[in-house]
Every structure is written in structure tokens, then in C-alpha cells.
Copies of this chain bind each other. A is one copy, B any other.
Amino acid sequence: MWLFGGLGGLATTVVVGARALARGLCAPRGLVSETELAAGLPLCGLDQLVFGGHEVREGTPAEAAREIDDAQGTLRRADLRRLAGDLRAYGAELRTGCLPNPGRTIARLADRELPTDEPLRAQVDRLCRDLDDFRARNRLDTVVCVNLTSTEPKLRLGKAHRSTAAFDRELDADRRAAVRPSTLYAYAAARLGLPFVHFTPSNAALIPAVREMFDERGVPYAGCDGKTGETLVKSALAAMFRYRDLRVLTWQGYNMLGDRDGAVLADAENKASKVESKDRLLSRILGHELHTHVAIDFVPSLGDMKTAWDFVHFEGFLGVRMAMQFTWQGCDAILAAPLVLDLVRFLDLARRRGEGGAQTWLACYFKSPLDVDEHDLHRQWDRLAAWLAACRDA
């Protein structure tokens, strides 16, 4: 398992959690792959997972874990002292990432010494070498790659992104404006034929040119943007209004978050990527247009304890207007980490079953599922359950 953004809050929580589970320090919770639904499937064991990653900031996994626990108190049960060796081992597998055209806010976060004049081709080669070495050194069947880097500003896509051939010419010409960091990460995974999870809303990662490479090699991938909190609730709740023909006039969401995620989204150009990913699904589920908007504000004191307030205004019998509101208080990394572990294990299984391309049965994990128009969580869940059942029967 290879984590792009390896010292981020989510990546750190993934590694800490997986190791704590492997060592029996706490019970599994939040992992579909550990429930009855997945019982009997030949999934990679949690204790068999080996971790590495790319990162552009300085620091060690132990420091990152300590920082999370000081701010949120969420890693207490993982008993960080007993994981000291595991975190050192993970730190030894972290490599310097890449940072081409990241936008001003992400650029400010980076503090590892990055060669600023390294050509794009050289960057890709370096990333691939890191991945190859990791696989060889650890004698792994495969490496499932996961993009957990910060939400990037939207990349303007054009002809050059539409085919591998065209995009290769951009790389050869070293046109940095044509890429974001996530583009190179996804490209590297595709070139090596490694399964890929795109867990953020950045539109630069799974451009058509890169998807073409995955598709041609028959490699499974999934995305985009993990569905962890407010959007998850929306996708679970919206159908209720449709069933009852209660017309939703307005659905507003107000999101607050702190930490690095929040700081990045405080930049309007990064926020735009996120909001677009959150705004879309309601009209699809409800089957009609409505007034809807998701606002996001940076609130440092909250850290990773994302707090969202949603207001739903709807019209019923005789045109009477009624309202529902909810507040969601969830720790984002804690909600997301088990999804990452599920996705890695499921993609690995898909790979072994020879299933390549976009894995649409994983739609329930994403705010903007690839090639899937179904946003209703319950329908999405049926697809996941059906695939798992088919695997078991096979």
C-alpha cells in the first residue's frame, strides 16, 4: 500500500489504525472488509499490509501521529508507544514526492527540499523508481496506490489531456501548466500497472490520458473523493423525500473544518474543486432541480473534527412548507481511514480476479463516483453487496 501524501492526517491514521488492528490493540470498526459481508473472501490480511508513500513535507510518522492525538485525542486507543517500531518502519519507506504546479496554498505547505528544476519526465521516473524499489524490497505481489494529497486547484483540461499520446507530448515538452502533483502520481501508478484509489476531488489525477493507460493495462482503479460525512448523510437521506413526494425546495450545507485540510480549502481556488463535488448529487437523487449550496469555512479550533450543519426546506401536501436540519460532528480522518483500507483490499481482490478499469461497484465510497450516475447511497450499497456476493459465490 502506497500513500501519496504519506504524512498527512489521513495517511497517518490509516497506518496507525492498520497496525493497531494488526497488533490486536483495538477491535475493527468502520471497515466493511471486516464485517460479515466480506467474510470468507480472500482479502489481503490487515497484518499483511506493508506501507510506504510520497510526501513533500518534513517530519516523521511518529510526530504526525503525536500531533493528531494532541489535537484530537483520536489515536489514544492505538497506544502509540507500542507502535513506535511500526511507525519507524513506515517512515523508512517514505520518499520525497513531487510538486509541479500545485497552486499557491499547497506550495506553501511543502518544506522538504524539492528540486525545483527537475523536469516532469525525471519526476515521473523518480516516482516509478520509488514504487518499484518498494515492491522489490518488500517482495510484494502488488502495490495499491492511494492519492491522499491535499485538494488541488482545478486543472483546466484540454485536448492535451484526452489521450495518452497527446499527454506524453506535454510531458516531453515539460509543460508544467498541464499537470498538478496528483497527475504525476496517477501517471506513475498507471505506467507501472498498479491499482489506484483517488480519494480527493482533484480533477487532475484521473484525466482521460491516465485512465486510458489504466484501462489498456486492465488495472482496476476507483474514485473520486471519499464520501465520509455530510455528503454521506445527504446521499442516505435524500431518497426519503423522493419516496414521499416531498419536494425539496432548498438544501443548504454549512461546513466547518480546521487543520491542514481546512487551511487548503480556505483558498478559494482549492475550495472550488470540493464544493463542486459536494453540490451535484442532490438533484440526481431527488429527480428535480432545487436551490442548494455547500459553504465551507476554515475554523482552526476544530482541527479535524468536521462540523456541518444542513438545512432542508421542503413542501408537502397542500403546499405546506416544513423543515429538517441536522448537525454532523465527525472526525474526518477517523471516518476516512477505514474506507481507504477497504478500498485497497477490494481493489487488490479485483486485480486478482482480473477486473480492470473503473470499479463502479465501489460508488458508495465516493462523492463523485467515476462513470456512475447513481448517488443514492442505498442503491450504491446494493451494488457493493452484489459484487461481494458474486466474489464469494465464485
Contact = CB atoms under 8 A, between A and B. Distances in A.
Contact of A377 (B30, B243, B317): B243
A338 B16 CA distance: 36
A252 B245 contact: no
Interface stretch (A94-102, A153-161, A185-193, A321-329): A321-329
A315 B74 CA distance: 11
A49 interface: no
A329 B323 contact: yes
Specify how many copies of this chain sit in the oligomer.
4
Given A299-B250, A300-B291, A330-B322, A245 B335 contact: no
B327 A331 contact: no
Contacts of A320: 74, 77, 331, 334
Contacts of A236: 236-237, 239-240
- A interface, over-half SS: mixed
B313 A245 contact: no
Residue of A76, A77, A244 contacting most chain B CB atoms (<10 Å): A244
Interface stretch (A108-116, A301-309, A347-355): A301-309
A297 interface: yes
Interface residues of A, number: 72
A263 interface: no
A291 B301 contact: yes
Contacts of A318: 13, 16-17, 20, 26, 29, 74-75, 77-78, 334
A331 B324 CA distance: 12
A299 to B, nearest CB: 5
A222 to B, nearest CB: 17
Contacts of A309: 254, 309, 311, 325
A181 B381 CA distance: 45
B316 A335 contact: yes
A245 B326 contact: no
A41 interface: no
Nearest to A236: B240
Nearest to A241: B236
A317 B342 CA distance: 12
B295 A291 contact: no
Given A232-B240, A318-B77, A364-B243, A313 B299 contact: yes
Contacts of A17: 317-318
A56 to B, nearest CB: 26
A384 to B, nearest CB: 8
Interface stretch (A31-39, A172-180, A203-211): A31-39
Given A29-B316, A30-B245, 11 more contacts: A29-B318, A30-B244, A34-B245, A236-B237, A250-B256, A250-B302, A291-B301, A307-B323, A322-B329, A323-B329, A326-B326
11 contacts: A29-B315, A35-B245, A74-B320, A232-B240, A236-B236, A244-B335, A250-B301, A301-B313, A317-B338, A322-B334, A327-B327
The 6 closest A-B pairs by CB, nearest first: A326-B326, A236-B240, A249-B301, A30-B317, A378-B378, A254-B254
